[in-house]
Structure 1
Amino acid sequence: MTQYWLMKSEPEEYGWHDLVRDGEGTWDGVRNAQASNNLKAMREGDLALFYHSRTGLEAVGIMRVSQTAFADPKDDSGRWVAVKVKPVEPLRRAVSLQVMKAQDALAGMAMLRQTRLSVAPIAPDEWAHILMLAGNAPASTA
């Protein structure tokens, strides 16, 4: 069964356009224990929203986990992990943090309750609601 995630990146550091250009990206640099545990819980084929943090504050695309957790190449301590992701499709309409916060259906979202969490799970009904807001058909990401 597919799990759903929201993964934040600052677009100046690594944005949606960078992932599309690269075709596959390494999601590394996560230095929060809970976010790291979320990376470890990911399975190949899981889907994630690419969320532009700091600048934009909006979900902009859908990506698929292409490789499960492995040692973060940027971490000499051996404590942290990374995953690989591939772009699936852009959101037809970016979904801003402001819009997400205004949705009763998303009130329980982990990212909205723990705003500093860079990798957070999304419940299937929350995922479907965000795709509806974006104008993306859920079947297109199956």
Structure 2
Amino acid sequence: MTLHPQPVPLILIIDDVPANLDVMVDYMAREALEIRVATNGEEGLEIARSRRPDLILLDVMMPGMDGFAVARALKQDPHLRDIPLLFLTAKVEAQSIVAGLRLGADDYLCKPVSLPALRHRVMKQLGLEARCWA
């Protein structure tokens, strides 16, 4: 009997602050995940279109194309619209949270985010929640 290895889930993190990217990548690197990063919305969309991620973590406040515009573009693309999307942002106002969820986000986490909570939500979105308790 030949066992086929499970594909490694790909996470795309889009955030314009390199320090935020470093913290998330370092923390999530403990898992069996492939992680790609983008420092702006346009680059994030380009990566998503070239190699469809299994999950996107997206900042809202970015210069140029903000996270809400990225989410709209993702949801309008038939090949990308069903990718789970988690906003990670310092925009904590109720109207921003509601706007993000209305755009189709699966979750909305406010910065500074608890890394264990982020890990749990990522693993749950990927269908790997059993690992959250390990």
TM-score by length of 2: 0.30
Give the strand-richer structure, 1 or 2: 1
The normalised TM-score by structure 1 is 0.29
Greater RCO, 1 or 2 (C-alpha within 8 Å, sep 6+): 1
